[in-house]
Structure 1
Amino acid sequence: MKATDILLPAPMTDAVIAPLKAEGIPLHALWEQPDPERFLAEQGERIRGVATSTLYGRLGAELIEKLPNLEVIASFGVGYDNVDVAAAAARDVMVTNTPGVLDDEVADFTIGLLIATLRQIPQADRFLRDGLWTERAFPLSPTLRGRTIGIVGLGSIGKAIARRLEGFGVDIAYHGRHRQPGVGYPYYPSARELAAACDVLIAILPGGAATRHIIDAGVLKALGPEGVFINVARGSVVDQDALIEALRNRTILVAGLDVYEDEPNVPAALLGLPGVVLLPHIGSASAHTRAAMGRLVADNLIAWFRDGRALTPVPETAHLQG
C-alpha cells in the first residue's frame, strides 16, 4: 500500500480506527489539534484520505480545498448528504458510504417504530410506571389492521421494510424517482398521490437538496386525519413546521420520528405533542451494525490505497474507479 495519511475530523468508532492502525496508516484527529486551522495549513498536503460521519456535520468544499492531495472521503452511513459530493467530484475525489450492512437493522427498527407509534407502546410504558394502571385501563390505541402502507423511497432499505410488512398482511405502495422493474407494489409518481392512496407513510429516502421537504403540508393533508407518518430517512425530507401544524390540528393522526432537521435539537413543539414517538436517530444504532459500518469505512480506505478501487463508491464518484 502506498504511504498515506488520513484525517479524522471528528471521533470515529474503534471499528474504523483499529483496521487502519493495523495497516500502519497515520491518523490525524483534527478535533484534538489545539489549532485546527494551523494544522490544516501546515499539514493539509499530507492528507490523502478522510474518514467522516454526521458527527462532524457537513464536510464541505472549504475543508476539501485545504487538502490539496486528497483522494478519498469515506463516510459512515448510507446517507452521504453530510459530504459536499459535488465539490469532491469536481476535484476527482472518491466518496464512499456504507450501504448494505445496515439494511436489515434499519428495516427491523422501522417496523418497531411503526408498531410503537400506532399501539402507543412508549405511552403505555409511562402510564404503567406512573402508577395509573391501578386507577384505570390504558386507552384503546389505533391499529395496523386494514391499513395501506406507502413507502417513499424504495431502495434497498425500503425493499427490506416492504418484505417485513408483507408478513403483516397489509397493502403496500411506493413512490420514487421512477417505477422500478420487477416490483409488484403499486407505484405513484408523486409523494402527494401516494399519501392520498395510503394511511401510513414511511420516509426512507436520501437527504439533500433534491428531496428537501418532499413531505410538505400538501402531502400531510393528503395522508388524512387517520394518517401516520414515520420518518427514518433524514429530517430534511419533511417540512418540520408543517408536520408540527398537521399534528396539532389533527390533519394527521400521529407520527414516529427518528430524525430531525437540526439534530440533536428537537423543537419544543414536537416534544409537547403527547401522541408522537420521538427517538434520537438510532435506526442503525446496534453494536453489531455500527461495527459493520465502521469496518466498511476502513475497508473502503484500505482498498482505495491498496488497489485504487473503492468497495462502495457513491454514484456521483463511481467513475473515478481505477
Structure 2
Amino acid sequence: MAPNSPFINFPNSTVHSSQVPITPLESWLPMASRAAPPPLPRRPPPRVLLLRHPHHFSLLDRPLPDGFRFLKPWESPLPLDGFLSSAEARSAEAILTSARAPVTADLLRRLPEVRLVISTSAGHNHIDLAECRRRGIAVAGAGDTKSEEVADLAVGLLIDVLRKVSASDRYVRRGLWSSEGEFALGSKLGGKRVGIVGLGRIGLEVAKRLEAFGCAISYNSRKKKPHISYPFYSNVHELATNCDVLVICCGLNEQTHHMINREVLLALGKEGVIVNIGRGPIINEKEMVQLLVQGELGGAGLDVFEKEPYVPEELLGLDNVVLSPHAAVLTPETVSNLCDLIIGNLEAFFSNKPLLSPVLDE
C-alpha cells in the first residue's frame, strides 16, 4: 500500500478488485461523538441610551429588561454634554426618551450609530422627526396605551372646574362651612357645548365620554374627519365662539404653538372653561392667566403648562382653576402597559421585526 493511500491492497485475495477504499474512522462514530463546529461569534447586546431616568419602570419597581445594555448618563462622572461626546454614548444604537428630553438634529448628529428612537410620551414634538426620516431612524411612540386615561382626566378636570369639587373640598377642610355657610353654586355638565381641539385618538375618547353626559360635541382638527358626524370648524376662534368649553387634545408644533390666545379665550366667554391635556405651549399662558385673574374667563383645568414644572403663581390662588402635575397617564395600568410596549419595541426592532407602535409610519 502506498504511503497515505486511501486504499488497501489484497494481492492473494479472491476480491476481484485489488484495492478496497477505506472508510474514514470518524464517519463510523455516532453523531454525538463528532467534533462540533465552532460556535458563531455572539453579538454584543444592543446599546440603549437613556436620556432620562426610566421612571415608568421605577414607579412599579420593575427592572429594566435583560438582553440590552442601557447607558445611563446620570451614573457617569461626566456632565451630560461630556457624556454625549464620549465613545460610550457614540456607540448607542437606540435612544429611550420622553417629552422633557428632546431628540434634536444636533443630538442625532453626535450619535452616529442610532437607528431607533423610542418615546414614552403621547406627543412627538420633542423629536426631530424630519431628521429621523432623513437618517432612516425608526421612531416608536406610546401608541394607544394612554388614550383612555388621558381622556378620563380631561373629563375629571372639567367636572372639577364646573362643580367646584376641589374648591369645595378646601372650603370644608378650612372649617368655613360652619362659619361661612353654603358654598358657591357649581354648574351642570350635561347640555354644555364642548369643542375639542384635535380629534385624534385622545380627542375621540374625550368626545365619547362627554357625549354620554349629554354634551353637544364639535371639533377643530387639521382636516375634517370623513366618518365623524360632529360639526367641524376649520378655525379655532369660530369653534370657541360656538362653545362653552374647549378641550385641548392636539399635539404641539409650529402651527399649534400659542394657537389658543387672548382672542380665542375671549370668544369662549366669561363663563367659558378651558381644559388642557395636550401641551402647555398650545395656550398663550400669560394671556390666559390675565383673563382668569380679570374674570374674563370662567375657569381652567390644566394638566400641562408652558414651562414645566413651573406654574404661574397667580393660578395657585384661584378657586376656578384646577391644576394637575402632567399626570394624565400616571395610573398603574398605563405605566405597566407602557413598560411592556417599550420592551416589545426594543425586542422587535433588534429582531428585525416590525415595531409595535411606529410613529413615522402612522
Q: Identify the TM-score tier after normalising by the shorter chain.
A: over 0.9
SS at match of 1:185: coil
Structure 2 length-normalised TM: 0.82
Residue 125 of structure 2 contacts residue 253 of structure 2 at CA under 8 Å; is this kept in 1?
yes
Report the counterpart of residue 88 of structure 1 in structure 2. Answer: 132
Measured after TM superposition, the shift of residue 241 of structure 1 is 0.9
Task: State the distance in 1 between where 2:136 and 2:273 align.
Answer: 43
1:51 to 96, 117, 141: 96
CA deviation after TM superposition for structure 1 residue 208, in Å:
2.3
Distance 1:305 1:266 in 2: 41
Deviations 1:28-57 (A, max 9, x none): 1112111144443222332100111134x3
Distance 2:63 2:311 in 1: 35
The separation in 2 between residues aligned to 1:301 and 1:118, in whole angstroms, is 43
CA offset digits 1:155-203 (Å, max 9, x no partner) = 0111111111111111110010111011111111111111001010000
* Secondary structure, counterpart of 2:206 in structure 1: helix
More helix by share: 1
Deviations 1:98-136 (A, max 9, x none): 121111111111111110011110010000000111121
Code of the residue aligned with 2:116 in structure 1: it is V
The aligned amino acid for 2:50 is L
- Indicate yes or no: 2:171 matched with 1:127: yes
How much identity, in percent, do the aligned residues show?
36
Aligned to 1:242: 287
Residue in 2 that maps onto 1:6: 48
Map of 1:25 onto structure 2? 68
RMSD between aligned residues: 2.0
Query: Structure 2: any 5+ residue segments left out of the alignment?
Result: 1-41
Stretch moving more, 156-165 or 75-84 = 75-84
Q: Distance in 2 between matches of 1:37 and 1:147?
A: 50
CA deviations over 1:6-33 (Å, ceiling 9, x no partner):
11111103289968633x1111111211
Give me the whole-angstrom Cα distance separating, in 2, the residues matched to 1:215 and 1:170. Answer: 22
Could you list the per-position Cα deviations for residues 216-249 of structure 1 after superposition, in whole angstroms to 9, with x for gaps in the alignment? 1111111111111000100011110111122122
Residue 328 of structure 2 is aligned with which of 276, 279, 283?
283
- Give, in angstroms, the shift of residue 64 of structure 1: 1.3
- The farther-off stretch of 83-92 and 167-176 is 83-92
Once the two structures are TM-superposed, the CA of residue 143 in structure 1 deviates from its matched residue by: 2.5
Q: For 1:102-251, list aligned pairs within 5 A.
A: 102-135=146-179, 136-251=181-296
The partner residue of 1:78 within 116, 122, 129 is 122
Bigger mean CA deviation after superposition, 213-222 or 245-254:
245-254
Residues 288-307 of structure 1 aligned to structure 2 (within 5 Å): 288-307=333-352
TM-score normalised according to structure 1 size:
0.92
Higher relative contact order by CA 8 Å / sep ≥ 6: 1 or 2? 1
Greater Rg over alpha carbons, structure: 2
Q: Look up the equivalent residue of 2:106 and give its one-letter code.
A: E
Unaligned runs of 5+ in 1: none
- Structure-1 residue corresponding to 2:112: 68
Letter in 1 for 2:229: G
Q: Distance in 2 between matches of 1:262 and 1:104?
A: 25
SS state at 2:49 partner: strand
Aligned-pair CA distance for 1:278: 1.0
* Partner Cα separation in structure 2 for residue 180 and residue 17 of structure 1: 42
Provide the C-alpha distance between the structure 2 equivalents of 1:270 and 1:164, rounded to a whole number of angstroms: 27
Distance 1:17 1:80, change over 3 A: farther
Tell me what 2:77 maps to: 34
Closer, same or farther: CA 147–39 of 1 in aligned 2, 3 Å: closer
Cα separation, 2, equivalents of 1:204 and 1:179: 16
When structure 1 is superposed on structure 2, of 221-230 and 6-15 the one drifting more is 6-15
Letter in 2 for 1:134: S
